[in-house]
Amino acid sequence: MSRVEVALGDRSYAIDIMAGALDRAGDLLAPFARRGRFAIVTDEAVAQAQLGRLTASLDAAGIAHAAIILPSGEATKSWASLERVTDWLLDREVERNDNIIALGGGVIGDLTGFAASILKRGCGFVQVPTTLLSQVDSSVGGKTAINARAGKNLIGSFYQPAYVLIDPATLDTLPAREVRAGYAEVVKYGLIDDAGFFGWCEANAPALLAGNADAREHAIHRSVAAKAAIVGEDERETSGRRALLNLGHTFGHALEAETGFSDRLLHGEAVAAGMALAFAFSARMGLCPAEDAARVAAHLSAVGLPATLADAGVAASGRALVAHMMHDKKMEGGRLPFLLARGIGRTFLAKDVDLAEVAAFLDEAR
């Protein structure tokens, strides 16, 4: 087992990574089972693939449990699901000092974390992420949210988990497309500030995507350690450091909105296209070498991720995509900060981007 610590004073917590960890979850989660029980939130796909492993381990440890199983998919991050989950938790008489288990991908983790943050003004929760995207990104750092008509993740809170337990073996049950989508959040850490890790990704992505256990564990540990360090420095994005984690997301969320937050374009696929667009826009503005932007797009394409608007299946005008961006939660004073790049591993936050130039660039990119 490898461990990463998120250093946040009295809200610090551990992230444990180990293949087969779900089969030992009873022992590993026992310290968080106040009153010897857990309420579990999961979805239909994860319940079929992984819930039995978790509950068998809890049974072996003598820990009582009950589970609510929600529909799979982005549509579950909704007011209706939040109401359903909180009512169910209240029916289970969950108390402030109890911990809820979020078993699933980013949708379940975000929804459960938000429910925990508001239930009785805050109870505990632990993350047991089962997708690559949630293991390397959304389970760490305490961002919780649901979606609204106006856009993605617009209603939520910063609320840290008590513990994160990552079992890379859960990836073996995922469709290849889901693993590829999660890989976008892995390669992001190299593009932000670690050109050496991007080079590792270029060399090892085929093995990781094919199921090589060593490659997967290395990528997960490296990604989690990178995110934990940034969150420890800037938990609530007050200094701008944590904003770097949004690379690709401003473009990507607009693409998701245009495709109806549906399976037409998974979140990781949108982030991949968004990162390629961010580098291409940076090159167009003379900030980034064109060869670096081309290298990023080539790598994403090589692993089967979208690197262009056409790859993402988006034909909307630049004006329409910018209109989606106007609902971004990072909008401040009528200006939208963008994550741009001076090269691979040299991402920075730009607060003076002209949205008319972004629209023109997106029209050219079509």
Which residues, 6+ apart, have CB-to-CB distance to 149 below 8 Å?
none
8 Å CB contact between 119 and 22: no
The residue from 178, 185, 217, 258 that is catalytic is 185
The residue from 24, 53, 222, 253 that is catalytic is 253
Catalytic annotation present for 253:
yes
**Is the torsion defined by CA of 293, 294, 299, 300 positive or negative?**
positive
Please give the structure tokens belonging to residue 271: 């982030």
The residue from 267, 299, 324, 330 that is catalytic is 267
DSSP state of 72: P
Catalytic annotation present for 185:
yes
Distances (CA, A) of 15 to 5, 21, 151, 173: 6, 12, 30, 22
Q: 246: exposed, middle or buried (C-beta count within 10 Å: 0-12, 13-18, 19+)?
A: buried
Catalytic annotation present for 65:
no
Catalytic annotation present for 221:
no
Distance CA 268, CA 317 (A): 22
Q: Count CA within 13 A, CB hemisphere, residue 272.
A: 31
Distance CA 255, CA 267 (A): 9
The residue from 221, 242, 324, 330 that is catalytic is 242
Taking alpha carbons only, the member of 257, 287, 252, 279 closest to residue 268 is 252
Please give the structure tokens belonging to residue 121: 């003004």
The residue from 53, 216, 221, 249 that is catalytic is 249
The residue from 217, 237, 256, 258 that is catalytic is 237
Catalytic annotation present for 249:
yes
8 Å CB contact between 12 and 6: yes
Catalytic annotation present for 227:
yes
Distance CA 157, CA 162 (A): 15
Catalytic annotation present for 324:
no
Catalytic annotation present for 97:
no
The residue from 24, 143, 188, 216 that is catalytic is 143
- Torsion from C-alpha of 156, 158, 159, 165, nearest 10 degrees: 100
Q: What are phi and psi of 120, to 5 degrees?
A: 50, 35
Which residues, 6+ apart, have CB-to-CB distance to 108 below 8 Å?
41, 42, 43, 46, 70, 76, 102
The residue from 53, 77, 227, 330 that is catalytic is 227
Active site residues: 121, 143, 185, 227, 237, 242, 246, 249, 253, 267
